[in-house]
Amino acid sequence: MSVPRFGLGTFRLQDDVVRRVVGDALELGYRAIDTAQGYDNEAEIGEVLEASGVPRQEIYLTTKIKPANFAPDALIASLRESNEKLRVDAVNLTLIHWPVPNGAVKPQDYLKALAEAQQSGLTREIGVSNFNIAGLKQAREILGDTPIMTNQVEIHPYLQNRKLAEFAQQEGIHLTSYMTLAVGKVMEDEVLQDIARQHAATPAQVALAWALQRGFSVIPSSTKRENLASNLRAQELTLTEEDMARIATLDQGGAVRLANPESARPDWD
């Protein structure tokens, strides 16, 4: 698996905030940065990466194609523009951001265009985001021998996506968890607080360690340097089987889904 286990998410971070956060993250040791065309922060991230002095080969850079750029010609042109903003010749990973099942551009067209972008050297690897099981099956049929490096989906203690996770594991499709901290909700959870006390950790570290132990990559974010550093230390935390079982009881299913745009979402599993 080439997708790093731990990275920095940049959703909702813009302008000087994203510049500061990415700069802090690089200084702290983060080497995987996740962005998207729809985040409107690629240019700022590119500025920081270029000025950081961190060698390009040490950075794993992910971006995502927004639905407005799904038409084949637009997709390739938009990824070229993303690379220019990020100041790289090629990103490491490019994802289809949302499946948009009822959109004007069908998966057959945008996935083939994404594979063409990979073949032309604009991205080293490709994948998807927010795809359900049916969407993953269809994507594999369309892409053939071209690997889907990850499916980036919302996974946190309250939305554990077990059916999708089981399918992905069986099929060898890696999952990346976003919103793993449930937009801060985990910090107030009594179960996670109790587990954290037993490990001299924070609830955020517990939630991240839980996702890592399930085999997912994680891309947490924070505007505070101390939280960025604390999140990174979740990789050093090992939860017990009892801890994992307690967290399993927190699952509330799709009722607590945080990212759910009506026009772009699939029929969730």
| CATH code of residue 131 | 3.20.20.100
Name residue 1's amino acid: M
Structural domain includes residue 47: yes
Which residues are annotated as part of the binding site for substrate?
Answer: 97
Structural domain includes residue 264: no
Structural domain includes residue 267: no
Tokens representing residue 76 in the block: 């390739």
Which SS3 state, helix, strand or coil, does residue 206 take? helix
φ, ψ for residue 96, nearest 5 deg: -75, 120
Q: Which residues pair with 128 in a beta bridge?
A: 96, 151
Which residues have a Cβ under 8 Å from the Cβ of 43 and sit 6 or more positions away?
85, 86
Which residues are annotated as part of the binding site?
Answer: 97
Report the catalytic residues: 39
Whole-angstrom CA distances from 88 to 26, 35, 121 are 17, 14, 11
**Domain around 117:** 8-255
Structural domain includes residue 118: yes
Structural domain includes residue 210: yes
The number of distinct structural domains making up the chain is 1
φ, ψ for residue 234, nearest 5 deg: -60, -25
Residue-by-residue pLDDT tens, the chain, 269 positions: 589 999 999 999 999 999 999 999 999 999 999 999 999 999 999 999 999 999 999 999 999 999 999 999 999 999 999 999 999 999 999 999 999 999 999 999 999 999 999 999 999 999 999 999 999 999 999 999 999 999 999 999 999 999 999 999 999 999 999 999 999 999 999 999 999 999 999 999 999 999 999 999 999 999 999 999 999 999 999 999 999 999 999 999 999 999 999 999 999 99
Structural domain includes residue 266: no
Give dist(CA 122, CA 93) in Å, integer: 9
Structural domain includes residue 61: yes
Structural domain includes residue 3: no
Number of H helices, E strands in the chain: 10, 8
